Amino acid sequence: MSITLLEVVQDVLSDLNSDEVTSITDTVEAQQVVKIAHRKYIELLERDDYRHLCKNQITGALTEEGTTTYPTTFELSSTYRSISNIRYDITETGDTNKTMRTIIYKTPDEFNTIIHGRKTGATDVDDKLIKGTGGQLWVINDKWPLYWTSYDDIYVTLDAYLTTENTILETDRMYCDAILEPVWTESNTFNLTTTGNLPAKLIGTYLSTVKAASFKKLKELVSEEDERHGRIGIARLRRENRSLQGEPLDKKNKGGYGRR
């Protein structure tokens, strides 16, 4: 089962007893429903870290800056809205066994205390800049990283790198848990389930929330049935999500950060 944005708009307008449309741009009301549909789509998918949006221990969510100016800095891909639980492959050349290290999250203040306690005159400390803020970043140059932080919703910064292996930390060594950014395209054919991130089982719940909001916004009426169906569907999804083995990504405990 799937549904396109045009089908959503047509379904909602039908319940509102509004003019029929063959395109989401046919009427002002249709365009208003599109805006409501977008808002409710994002709200629904950001209510929780639903498992279909969670990717565990992947590479590519964080991309190296690729320059010796920022040797320990990575950028969050626009495909993902947040990351957590960073691990780095610290296998050295010639090692027969691979080794993965969990990188410990520190708040920016904690991270600053660590890096600014280093002696910049020492040969094992490089004086670098924090990407995005221009602040001082004093990184160890002869050890693998232990800590990471983020000063914003764009860049991740680590505290060290091993220059005998590479002059920068590398994307293909960086693993993390990540949550996908919901995909949205404002077009008639945009399929919310096959192209977007809406699970097929959530279509009914989603339509109910869009209809309830549309009644309020466009007709100044309350659709109690749609509001009730929306609440029930969301509660059911959350119960199902929690009943699966393990827990969703915990941004507080695992040092997650991302776009909000």
Residue 257 parent element (H or E): strand 257-258
pLDDT confidence tier of residue 253, bands split at 50, 70 and 90: very low
pLDDT confidence tier of residue 49, bands split at 50, 70 and 90: low
pTM: 0.77
pLDDT tens for each residue of 142-179: 999 999 999 998 999 999 999 999 999 999 999 999 99
pLDDT at 243: 37
pLDDT confidence tier of residue 227, bands split at 50, 70 and 90: low
Residue 99, both tokens: 């080794």
Torsion angle of the four alpha carbons 249, 241, 12, 182, in this order, in degrees rounded to the nearest 10? 20
pLDDT higher than 80, residue 131: yes
CB 71, CB 216: distance < 8 Å: no
pLDDT at 247: 41
Crossing angle of helices 28-45 and 203-214, in 10° steps, is 130
